[in-house]
Amino acid sequence: MSTAVTTTTSSSTTLVTGMVHMWNFAADSASQADEITGDGDNFTLTVLGAVHSSDHGGIYKYDGLDDEIKINGTHSGFIDFTSNFTVSVWSFAYVAVRSHTIWAMSDGVDRYLVGRTTNNKDKLYATAWDSGYTSIETDSNVSTGVWHHIVFTHTGTAGGTVGLYVNGTNQTDATTGQSTSNSDGMTVGSRTDENDTFDWDGEIDTLIITTGILSQAEVDVLYLNGAATKN
């Protein structure tokens, strides 16, 4: 059964250009899920069922049933999800299941998310749901049982582009429509609509949010630095 642990967090160290927050999950208990660096904005993290492990310097394990971490706070003022941003995260899947979600952000109607595709369990995708539906999936299958570094980028507002990198390799960008608002929280290991069907079955590490779009060189640095502690 899931148990909730709620913490409020802030810190002030920058690791990459435009970084506003990083959750590295290095703490040794769920009550300290707030190992965050960033610009000092406060967030409330609620850990629901996900189990902390000291593996790889600190990760969370998800059972694919009802585990998640909720990140609640006012996004306006420190990052504008209706404009340019980048999300970086590490994931490890125990099994490949369609629509299983690694990270999501929603305003209750529209959303961004990263996870396994809805049509092909063996691929990952990044998507923006708005007045239309825009998604990019990996060019090839993404294996289970190993760590993968995923970077999701969003450029501009309506008519901008959604980008995806996996292990430093850039996939083909896609044009998106209207962006989602800043009014709701983020989730790690699940979608924001409370539907457990889409919950991640595996491990997740080091979530980074930045303003602006990371360059290929910056993506490479994050991937190579993280890969040194994985697998």
Instruction: Please say whether the beta carbons of 89 and 226 come within 8 A.
Output: no
Give the per-residue pLDDT at 197.
Answer: 81
One-letter amino acid for residue 48 of the chain: L
Domain count, the chain: 1
Domain encompassing residue 188: 4-227
Query: Does 166 score more than 60 pLDDT?
Result: yes
Give the per-residue pLDDT at 121.
Answer: 87
Query: Does 181 score more than 90 pLDDT?
Result: no
Q: Could you tell me the two tokens for 159?
A: 């008519």
Q: Could you tell me the two tokens for 9?
A: 């967090």
- Beta strands 19-23 and 201-211, pairing class: antiparallel
Place 2 in a pLDDT band, splitting at 50, 70 and 90.
Answer: very low
Q: What is the CATH number of the domain that holds 17?
A: 2.60.120.200
By C-alpha distance, which of 209, 208, 211, 205 is closest to 227?
205
CA separation for the pair 213, 51 (Å, rounded): 31
pLDDT in tens, 46-61: 888 888 888 988 899 9
By C-alpha distance, which of 174, 163, 171, 168 is closest to 213?
163
- Vertex 101, ends 158 and 80: CA angle to 5°? 35
Give the per-residue pLDDT at 110.
Answer: 64
CA atoms within 13 A on the CB side of 126: 24
pLDDT in tens, 22-39: 788 876 444 444 445 444
Give the per-residue pLDDT at 126.
Answer: 85
pLDDT in tens, 95-127: 988 889 999 887 666 678 899 988 888 888 888
One-letter amino acid for residue 165 of the chain: Y
Which residues are 86's β-sheet partners? 153, 210
Q: Could you tell me the two tokens for 125?
A: 């995708």
